[in-house]
Amino acid sequence: MKASETAIVMIEFQNEFCKEGGRLYDVVKSELARQNTLANAVKLQREARAKGCLIVMVPFVFDEEYAGFWKPEGIVGNAASSGAFRPGAWGTEIIDELKPAAGDVAVHGKATLCGFNGTNLEMILRGAGIRNCVLSGFLTNVCVESTARTAYDKGYRVIIAKDACAALSQEQQEYPEKCIFPLLGSVMTVSEALANMEAEPSRAKPKAA
């Protein structure tokens, strides 16, 4: 993989999931510990950025403004009624360790499972000439998997950075690693993914950088 054609897609690394006091922290904390997810994510972001990959943060935000008329069923409905992921709230912020740096981008509009649905993710990937998506984040078998399935269907090469993900349980982490992701592309550790990336530090940086 050439770094200049590779995006590190980091899904929902927000306080809500990652930090004591986040509304969804309790349901993932044992897997965060078992996988060492946050340290791996930090390593992935920092080293991939240095190699010239595009870093794409994909936060979930459930706007108060449409919380009044849109009543989704299922898991998004549960998240909405829990009060999680409200705009401007602490829980919705990307965690300090992974805050976007100059040249990184953050996707707007994710309010369902797939990171492409209702967002500018595709425009960002296309604008930057990306062909490879390295996926990480929460939950492995829900939003990460939905985004991976769509990325595959859109023709991107899909790599799952498995130890920078977390699910509700080891079983829910391992089922897609074994049965789904190999149908779409590759499953790697963060170290393996980084080792497969050809550095190209010449990526055009934003004017602001």
- Minimum distance, C-beta of residue 20 to a second copy, in the bound complex (Å): 25
Q: Which stretch binds a second copy (CB under 8 A): 10-18, 25-33, 88-96, 147-155?
A: 147-155
Q: Tell me how far apart the alpha carbons of residues 131 and 155 are, in angstroms, rounded to a whole number.
A: 8
The burial class, CB within 10 Å (0-12 / 13-18 / 19+), for 116 is buried
Q: Tell me how far apart the alpha carbons of residues 2 and 35 are, in angstroms, rounded to a whole number.
A: 27
- Residue 85 gets the label, from left (phi > 0), alpha (psi -120 to 50) or beta, of left
* Nearer of residues 195 and 208 to a second copy, judged by Cβ: 208
With CB under 8 A as the contact rule, the residue among 50, 118, 170, 201 that binds a second copy is 118
Residues 6+ away with beta carbon under 8 Å from 66: none
Q: Tell me how far apart the alpha carbons of residues 204 and 103 are, in angstroms, rounded to a whole number.
A: 9
Q: Which residue has the tokens 């080293």?
A: 47
With CB under 8 A as the contact rule, the residue among 1, 25, 39, 122 that binds a second copy is 122
Binding letters toward a second copy, positions 78-117, x by CB under 8 A? ----------------------x--xxxx-xx-xxxx--x
Asked if 115 contacts 147 with a C-beta cutoff of 8 angstroms, the reply is yes
Asked if 95 contacts 13 with a C-beta cutoff of 8 angstroms, the reply is yes
- Minimum distance, C-beta of residue 69 to a second copy, in the bound complex (Å): 5
Q: Which stretch binds a second copy (CB under 8 A): 11-19, 28-36, 141-149, 187-195?
A: 141-149
* Nearer of residues 38 and 113 to a second copy, judged by Cβ: 113
Instruction: Based on the shown chain and the rule CB under 8 A, indicate whether residue 144 belongs to the binding site for a second copy.
Output: no
- Minimum distance, C-beta of residue 128 to a second copy, in the bound complex (Å): 5
What's the alpha-carbon Rg for the chain, to the nearest Å? 16
Q: Which residues of this chain interact with a second copy, rule CB under 8 A?
A: 54, 63-70, 72-75, 100, 103-106, 108-109, 111-114, 117-120, 122-124, 126-129, 141-142, 146, 149-150, 152-155, 157-158, 172, 175, 179-180, 182-185, 203-209
